[in-house]
Amino acid sequence: MLRLQNIGLTQGAVTDLQAWQAIVDGMPTFPGQVTEAKRQFKLKNTRSNPAFQVVRSALTQMHGELIRCAYCEDSVADEVEHIYPKDLYPERVFVWENYTYACGPCNGPKSNRFAIFLATDGSEVDISPPKRKPQGWIPARPPKGDALLIDPRNENPLDFLWLDLGASCRIDPKMGLSRRATRRAEYPHFVLNGPFAAERANDHGFWQSLSPADIRNRKKMAKNRCTGRRTPVKARLWNDQSGLGAQFGWRRF
Ligand SMILES: [Zn+2]
């Protein structure tokens, strides 16, 4: 998971986002807010909308030279993702700090999945809406509580996670965390160790087996192919300056 350095938007984009958020917030009921949030976001999140051009430009700067997904640090990411899903938190649908870039393979399984520690007793509860909504299902405002999902806009994922470069090549909770922080580190595993875990482990083993000369050549090749949807794993592992790669001193190239 990438650590994202926040940058600001232009005043015009800020004003637009606030105005659209006010439309959503003005709906009298929670189900109405959810419906309007989805409708407005679909309308406004277009390549031709000047405010979202500013949003995308800022996200592009924040996600590194190769524009990697904030969750897996792996694929090229170009989908504006709500960290707090709009189906549950329509009051954050146009909040800039709730946006990140995610890739399709992460955004798909994450979707509306969300869990919180209840404010009342700290217990962990899954507040994801049902995937297949029964007829007549009406969304309800979630109870108050803190998110399990690490927020890459406001938190440092490296406080929670490390990449095991030994046998497993898995992204795991750091040692010595509190029980609550450990649960938070474990929570995004459907993303972090989901789509790319086996591939990451295979690629790591492959690169470990290469000679320095092989690596130099492949780095050159990787650089030339970085514009594709997927890049060779060393490019993926080494490109980021703020995520887990930095923890191990992987170099950019
Ligand atoms: Zn991803």
- Asked if residue 184 has pLDDT above 80, the reply is yes
Separation of 77 CA from ligand 1 center, angstroms? Answer: 7
Q: pTM above 0.75? A: yes
Pick the range with the lowest mean pLDDT from 40-44, 58-62, 155-159, 165-169.
165-169
Confidence tier at 199 by pLDDT (50, 70, 90): low
125-152 pLDDT per residue, tens? 999 998 888 888 899 999 999 999 999 9
Map out the domains of the chain as residue ranges.
11-247
Average pLDDT over residues 230-234: 43
Separation of 213 CA from ligand 1 center, angstroms? Answer: 30
Confidence tier at 215 by pLDDT (50, 70, 90): confident
Separation of 231 CA from ligand 1 center, angstroms? Answer: 13
Convert the chain into a string of H (helix), E (strand) and C (coil): CCCCCCCCCCHHHHHHHHHHHHHHHCCCCHHHHHHHHHHHHHHHCCCCCHHHHHHHHHHHHHCCCCCECCCCCCCECCEEEECCCCCCCHHHCCCHHHEEEECHHHHHHHCCCCEEEECCCCCEEECCCCCCCCCCCCCCCCCCEEECCCCCCCCCHHHCEEECCCCCCCEEECCCCCHHHHHHHHCCHHHHCCCCHHHHHHHHHHHHCCCHHHHHHHHHHHHHCCCCCCCCHHHHHHHCCCCHHHHCCCCCC
- Asked if residue 81 has pLDDT above 60, the reply is yes
Separation of 65 CA from ligand 1 center, angstroms? Answer: 16
The segment with the largest mean pLDDT, out of 9-23, 155-169, 170-184, is: 9-23
Separation of 192 CA from ligand 1 center, angstroms? Answer: 8
Confidence tier at 106 by pLDDT (50, 70, 90): confident
